[in-house]
């Protein structure tokens, strides 16, 4: 067997191992899982998520997921907790501790201090008989039969299972809170994801040049308007109402059709009933319309009046596409 075949076989083995373990997690979603979710939902404090080693890394991801979906959360490293970071925990907070074995030295030191306070303890563990599980008020079972590591040592499948259960918990809380896409946008204002949720057509159209001609405009003026405004189109308007559109494609077709352009006006070559969008539409929805009709530009209206133009290049530049 050549090296590439071995590599591919090993990769497939890992994927099969982890996918099987994830599928098995569904059987562990029980009343205690639901109780943990409801307790967090009804609590007045934050979720303090802690762990050590690879579980600590998973804890930071769960914290990020909770924060971005409406549940305030803070990461506290289990090792640092016993050296001063226990002060992170406030009286109304819920503590979530992640550990595959539930028996690591740091966890055994940390848990008794947590139990001395008023805070409820949620365990995400693969071992329901562990020290952590026995001390926890709620147990989220993330049991896996074996790691993807051939020696069953390196945390692989177990950390995947922890992350999946954390995702399940975060989304259950999102659903309980009625957390909407508008709420999501408030927490994700940056990058392409945020722009898909808040960037509107008017935000783009207002910075573009606004090509427009009247129905009786000479085609030479139409060509100049399209060229100068750099949008590849111009709106044809009557009292600021859109009555048609002339694209650079219309210009090419005109040149093929007529031996002379003398006497031709915008109304002679324009397309009527062009696709338009309201200025308050989300830019991502405008992109869907462009994709649906195979067009590169859209005319924009505000209260029925001509407002401007957006081009597919604008959406590419903004990271929407």
Distance CA(82)–CA(109), nearest Å, equals 8
Distance CA(89)–CA(117), nearest Å, equals 9
Strands of the sheet containing 233-238, edge to edge, are 212-214, 233-238, 241-247
- Kindly report the backbone phi and psi dihedral angles of residue 166, in degrees, each rounded to the nearest multiple of 5, phi listed first: -65, -40
Which residues have CB under 8 Å from 203's CB, separation 6+? 283
Distance CA(164)–CA(22), nearest Å, equals 7
Give the DSSP H/E element, type plus range, for residue 166. helix 157-177
Structural Rg of the chain based on CA atoms: 30
Contact, 41 vs 127, CB < 8 A? no
Q: Which two tokens stand for residue 236?
A: 């044809």
Count Cβ atoms within 10 A of the Cβ of residue 54 and give its class: 0-12 exposed, 13-18 middle, 19 or more buried.
middle
Which stretches of the chain are assigned E, i.e. beta strand?
47-51, 73-77, 94-99, 121-125, 138-141, 212-214, 233-238, 241-247, 276-278, 297-302, 305-311
Give the DSSP H/E element, type plus range, for residue 68. helix 54-68
User: Which of these, 146, 165, 173, lies nearest to 58 by C-alpha position?
Assistant: 165
Distance CA(187)–CA(147), nearest Å, equals 35
Residue 35: CB atoms within 10 A of its CB come to: 14
Q: Identify any residues that bridge with 98 across adjacent strands, giving them in sequence order.
A: 51, 124
State yes or no: 83 annotated in a binding site: no
Binding residues for Zn(2+), as ranges, are 77
The binding site consists of 77
């Amino acid at each position: 067997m050549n090296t590439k075949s071995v590599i591919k076989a090993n990769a497939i083995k890992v994927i099969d191992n982890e996918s099987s373990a994830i599928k098995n997690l569904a059987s562990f979603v029980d009343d205690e899982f639901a109780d943990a979710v409801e307790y967090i939902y009804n609590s007045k404090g934050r979720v303090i998520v802690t762990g050590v080693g690879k579980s600590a890394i998973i804890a930071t991801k769960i914290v990020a997921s909770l924060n971005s979906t409406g549940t305030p959360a803070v990461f506290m490293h289990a090792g640092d907790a016993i050296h001063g970071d226990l002060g992170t925990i406030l009286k109304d907070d819920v503590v979530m501790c992640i550990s595959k074995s539930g028996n690591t030295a740091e966890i055994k030191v940390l848990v008794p201090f947590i139990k001395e306070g008023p805070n409820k303890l949620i365990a995400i563990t693969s071992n329901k008989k562990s020290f952590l599980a026995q001390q926890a008020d709620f147990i989220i079972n993330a049991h896996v039969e074996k790691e993807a590591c051939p020696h069953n040592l390196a945390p692989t499948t177990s950390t995947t299972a922890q992350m999946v259960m954390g995702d399940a918990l975060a989304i259950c809380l999102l659903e309980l809170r009625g957390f909407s896409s508008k709420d999501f946008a408030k927490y994700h204002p940056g990058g392409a994801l945020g722009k898909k949720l808040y960037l509107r057509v008017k935000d783009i159209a207002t910075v573009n040049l606004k090509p427009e001609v009247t129905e009786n405009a000479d085609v030479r003026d139409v060509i100049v308007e399209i060229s100068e405004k750099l949008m590849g189109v111009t709106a044809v308007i009557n009292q600021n109402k859109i009555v048609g559109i002339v694209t650079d494609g219309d210009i090419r077709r005109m040149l093929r059709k007529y031996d002379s352009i003398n006497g031709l006006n915008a109304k002679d070559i324009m397309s009527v009933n062009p696709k338009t969008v309201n200025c308050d539409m989300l830019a991502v929805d405008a992109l869907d319309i462009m994709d649906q009709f195979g067009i590169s530009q859209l005319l924009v209206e505000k209260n029925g009046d001509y407002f401007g133009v957006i081009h597919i290049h604008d959406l590419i530049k903004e990271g929407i596409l």
